[in-house]
Amino acid sequence: MNKVTRKFASFVVAGAALGLGYFGYNHLLDSRFAYAEEQREQTRQSVAKLEDLSSIFKAVGKIVEPSVVSINVHKKVASPHPREFWKKMIPDRNGDGKPDIMPPLLPNLPETPDIPDELPFDDGGNFDTIGTGSGVIIEAADGKGYILTNNHVAGGASEIAITFSDGREVHKSKVKLLGADPRTDLAVLEITADRLSPAKWGNSDEAQKGDWILAFGSPFGYVGSMTHGIISALNRQAGILGMNGYENFIQVDAPINPGNSGGPLVNLRGEIIGINTAIASQSGGFQGIGFAIPSNQARYVYQSLKEKGKVTRGWIGVGITDVSRNQQLAESFGYTKPTGVLVNQIIANTPANGKLQKGDIVTGINGKLIDTVQQFRSVVAGMAPGTEIKLSVFRGGKDTETTIKLGELPDDLASARPARDTARDVAAPDNIGLRVKTLTPELARQYGVDVKEGVVITSVERNSPAAKEMLGVGNVITQVGDTEVKNAEDFDAAMKKQDLKKGVRLYVETREGGRFALISPEK
């Protein structure tokens, strides 16, 4: 090959390389473009799915809104001051002997210059307030309807007015409060009206953290409002219903504000899974946490209030505490899990007699795991008296089951049992800071304890392990470890067998009831 030929060949090779490079680069660009277009289409489809979710929200709104009502109530509130006090507090700027403005100390009362000759307080200083809330129609038939709402909305109301989603109103003689239950903060109203659209119940036991939910009601009086969010927690206790309340709330992040109370919380099928009842707030407005009463609990209360005007609840008759509050005590029974409830006390003549024992740890009811006292109470109270339930129990180092027929929770627990269903922590001997004496009938009367045998604590050293466990003079120790104690000799003998470094489990009786306590010198 001559020189010219070689040079030409080189150009050909170089040109081919450039051509291949050009077309290869374009192919790369085409591939990138195609991939980008594919990603864009996938994003477009994702947006379409979001629009589909929006369509679901709209559909649920159309399903539920006709069942939601706005409630306006008048309530008579007791004033701590007599009528003469308010005469002095209300200014008389016109000089005509009439008050010309309502006292600024009273919330929810409108300011008005047109007040009649008589003050709006009775002789006791009581006055009327106006409140708003929400409710949901549960049933309708034969010109009657039944609405579920909160006790704090309708309970104790002297006058109630209902506004439906279509603008109709019923009030006075056409609205009747059938019953209210402060322990769950629920109330049921009966109304006389036609063309009502009841909502459908859902199963709150199927609710899970992360589920989409929608809340309906009349926040700040804005009728027909709907918000959405997710379930952020389950089985919450907010401490708003007091010691005798049943709190097992669904926690949500859907905006719930004053006026939403009593409205329904629904799933994406438009089924009621809760009744909006409270918010966690420092300002009085929504701050990201709302609470709803689970529908399965609300459903039972609704039926009871509608049919009987009151709630009859199941009852076992035990004093219990959370295992999680004293894991070391639970471990002294050989139980190592962090959940369940420890039986401290068996109340005489109750369904628990002969079925449960002091020191049992209840871990489940009818196959459903039980984590806390509040959950235990809510499940039992949510069933009718006479219902048979199966309890999963840890006893003597083994898991077992027992069946109990529920009794009826007394209206007055204090009179239904010799001691309250509560207890206190207790203590032990010399190096743990207490002294004991054989219990006698005279000492039992002196300290007001309903116990026949045991040892009574006569003194507790300050800052001792016994004192730190809140043991007190007059407490009666009836058991050390697994050994029953009838007198001081039994107590001394039982204590000598204990390893104080590991802690000593005692059973102590007080005026308020009995309880286990784990005492250790290291505390």
pLDDT tens string 12-40 = 544 555 455 555 656 666 677 677 767 76
- Token pair belonging to 22: 């050009």
Confidence of residue 9 (pLDDT cuts 50, 70, 90): low
Query: Which positions are annotated as active-site residues?
Result: 152, 185, 261
Q: Kindly state the tokens that stand for 261.
A: 């109370």
Secondary structure of 252-280 in the HEC alphabet? ECCCCCCCCCCCEEECCCCEEEEEEEEEC
User: What is the band of 121 on the pLDDT scale with cuts at 50, 70, 90?
Assistant: low
Q: Quick check: helix, strand or coil at residue 465?
A: helix
Residues 6 or more apart whose Cβ sits within 8 Å of residue 15: none
Other Cβ atoms less than 10 A from the Cβ of 399: the count is 12
Report d(CA 401, CA 515) in Å as an integer: 23
Please list the residues that pair with 225 across neighbouring strands. 217
Burial environment of residue 343 by CB neighbours within 10 A (0 to 12, 13 to 18, 19 or more): buried
Using only the alpha carbons of the chain, give its radius of gyration.
34
What integer pLDDT is reported at residue 295 of this predicted model?
A: 94
Q: Give the C-alpha separation, 261 to 218, whole Å.
A: 8
d(CA 301, CA 316): 19
Confidence (pLDDT) at 409: 86
Topology (CATH) of 430-519: Pdz3 Domain (2.30.42)
Nearest-angstrom CA–CA distance, 478 and 510: 11
Cα(198)–Cα(146) distance, integer angstroms: 9
User: Which one-letter amino acid corresponds to residue 396?
Assistant: G
What whole-number distance in Å separates Cα of residue 357 and Cα of residue 173? 53
pLDDT at 246: 83
CA distances in angstroms from 197 to 104, 149, 162, listed in the order given: 42, 16, 14
**Tens-digit pLDDT profile for residues 267-300:** 999 999 999 987 766 555 566 788 999 999 999 9
246/93 Cα distance (integer angstroms)? 50
**Rounded Cα–Cα distance for residues 60 and 67 (Å):** 12
DSSP string, 358-376: TT-EEEEETTEE--SHHHH
Has residue 67 got a pLDDT over 50? yes
3-state helix/strand/coil string of 406-417: CEECCCCHHHHC
314-416: CATH topology: Pdz3 Domain (2.30.42)
175 SS3 class: strand
**Which one is predicted more confidently, 111 or 82?**
82
What is the tens place of the pLDDT at every residue in 169-213?
998 889 999 999 998 999 999 999 999 989 999 999 999 999 999
Q: For residue 104, is pLDDT > 80?
A: no
Q: Percent of the chain at pLDDT above 90?
A: 27
Please state the separation of Cα 114 from the chain's center in Å.
Answer: 44
Pairing of strands 264-266, 314-315: unpaired
CB 299 within 8 A of CB 136: no
Of 123-137, 312-326, 455-469, 486-500, which one has max mean pLDDT? Answer: 312-326
